[in-house]
Amino acid sequence: MSIFQRIGQYFRRKRMKKSLRMRGYAGKRSVSKVYSSPMIPIVKVVAVILVIAGVGFAVYHWGVPYAKTLFAEDAAAPTPTPIATPTPPPATYAKADMSDLETEVMIPHWFIADPYYYNGKIIYTSGDEAATAPNAINHVIIFDIGSSSYTIVETPPRLVGDSGAADEPAGNNLFGAKMNETWIVWIESDYNNKGGGRIMAYDRSTNTSFVLREYLYGMPKLFLSGDYCLFNISTGSKSDKIYLYDLANQEVVMLRSYDYSKEPFSISTPSICESEIIWVDAMAEDTGTTQTTIKSLKIKEDLSFENEPYVFDTYVFDPVTNGEAIAFLNTQRSLSGDLMVSVGGNEPVVVATGVLNFDLGDHFVAYTKDQAIYVYYWADGSTGRLSNSNSQAILASVTGNVVLWYDITDGIIGAAEKNRDVLKMAEVPFER
């Protein structure tokens, strides 16, 4: 073979190799047995699946939380849903249980008749200090709450019982004492309980006593305000008169005379305060409804003048006034009736049913019901129990914002298990 033939063969082989490389064929000697295996496609598919799964796992566990945190920092904080604040019930003057105001007044006398509060002192009548049932109620006593001491008022000799005679009976009893800055008034009742007696007064500035009026029947009830003493006296079995006594001038005027044989109502006590005097004046029945007229006299600068009467469409018994409100019962001494209050002469409202007795304070009416003491504020119509729920009680009197009552949990004085009166007291606030 000539040299030209060898050169031409060399270039032909070279071109063939180049052509094969361009076609992806390296010749039999350069192909691996692994890459020529039929498992290659399956391995490639599995590898792709594993790669995709790994990427997904990484994105889910690291990428998504990171993205949430990133967007949460950029996003505005959501506005919380507002929660409505419950409206508290309106405050009332009375609480259901007001017994925390209760205190016991440690009066040394075992027997305490008609206690009445005035300016830090309590006036009452009694006999001997340690007598459960004294032979005679012959002392008018003033007890000072602050010092726990008492003084006996120098009363004039009783009509019966103070002569000193050996055969003289125990004598007349003293009841119904009331007091203010200048005056003390009380009743000297006939010792034989047949009725009759006299109304007495005591001037605290001069320590002198005098008789307001004598009476023959029953026992009057006294009302004291300033220089005036108001009372009603039975003048016969079916007649009654109301008197107003000027203590400073010792003058008296009759306000009303009743003849119960001609009038459709029974004896009802009058009432007086610093600014007004009231009493039941007339009753009428129209279409089955009882209408009561309460006469009113206004007091101003020691002068009185007739006021427009109050007219209520109900029966009125024992009305009491403080110049702002009038409280009364709508039956005559019956537990089936109602205690009612009228403010400013407006239509009266029912306070409670089944009331034993009541009295009027500056801003409330206190009463006994089911052997418990309650107070009712007419400003908001709220009622609270004043006496302890574990006790039994009966109202004694009310002056201003002070309520006095007897604790009768162990019975009344004279019972086998009780040898002395227990007197309780509370100062009733006027605040919500």
pLDDT class of 69 with cuts at 50, 70, 90: low
Distance between CA 373 and CA 395 in Å, rounded? 7
pLDDT: which is higher, 343 or 34: 343
Q: Quick check: pTM over 0.95?
A: no
Other C-beta atoms lying within 10 Å of the C-beta of residue 275: 15
Q: What is the pLDDT of residues 309-330, one digit of tens each?
A: 999 999 999 999 999 999 999 9
Q: What is the pLDDT of residue 195?
A: 72
Question: Where do we find the tokens 């019975």?
Answer: 411
Which CATH superfamily does the domain covering 99-427 fall into?
Answer: Prolyl oligopeptidase, N-terminal domain (2.130.10.120)
* Dihedral angle sign, alpha carbons of residues 352, 356, 359, 361: negative
Rounded to 5 degrees, what are φ and ψ at 70?
A: -65, -45
So where are the chain's domains? 99-427
pLDDT: which is higher, 228 or 66: 228
State yes or no: pLDDT of 70 exceeds 70: no
**Highest mean pLDDT (candidates 59-73, 86-100, 205-219):** 205-219
Q: What is the pLDDT of residue 244?
A: 95
pLDDT above 90 as % of the chain: 57
The amino acid sitting at 102 is E
Q: What is the pLDDT of residues 229-256, one digit of tens each?
A: 999 998 887 889 999 999 999 999 999 9
State yes or no: pLDDT of 291 exceeds 60: yes
Q: What is the pLDDT of residue 29?
A: 44
pLDDT: which is higher, 207 or 283: 207
State yes or no: pLDDT of 204 exceeds 60: yes
Other C-beta atoms lying within 10 Å of the C-beta of residue 392: 17
Average pLDDT, the chain: 84
Q: What is the pLDDT of residues 411-428, one digit of tens each?
A: 877 665 678 899 999 999
Q: What is the pLDDT of residue 263?
A: 79
State yes or no: pLDDT of 101 exceeds 90: yes
Listed residue (372, 405, 369) closest to 390, CA to CA: 372
Distance between CA 359 and CA 279 in Å, rounded? 16
Q: What average pLDDT score do residues 158-168 get?
A: 76
Q: What is the pLDDT of residue 34?
A: 46
Distance from CA of residue 116 to its chain's centroid? Answer: 22
Q: What is the pLDDT of residue 367?
A: 98
pLDDT: which is higher, 10 or 361: 361
Q: What is the pLDDT of residue 312?
A: 95
State yes or no: pLDDT of 93 exceeds 70: yes
Rounded to 5 degrees, what are φ and ψ at 77?
A: -65, 135
Residue 308's SS3 state is strand
pLDDT class of 349 with cuts at 50, 70, 90: very high
Q: Look up residue 97 and give its DSSP letter.
A: B
pLDDT class of 25 with cuts at 50, 70, 90: very low
Other C-beta atoms lying within 10 Å of the C-beta of residue 236: 12
Q: What average pLDDT score do residues 296-303 get?
A: 77
Q: What is the pLDDT of residue 231?
A: 96
> Looking at 204-275, which runs of residues are DSSP E strands?
208-215, 223-225, 228-236, 239-246, 251-259, 271-272
Residues 6+ apart with CB under 8 A from 45: none
State yes or no: pLDDT of 145 exceeds 90: yes
Q: How many residues does the chain have?
A: 432
Q: What is the pLDDT of residue 81?
A: 76
Q: What average pLDDT score do residues 357-386 get?
A: 97
Q: How far is CA 179 from CA 81, 173, 176, 225, 298, in A?
A: 65, 18, 10, 9, 22
Q: What is the pLDDT of residue 31?
A: 45
pLDDT: which is higher, 341 or 167: 341
State yes or no: pLDDT of 55 exceeds 50: yes
Q: What is the pLDDT of residue 415?
A: 60
State yes or no: pLDDT of 71 exceeds 90: no
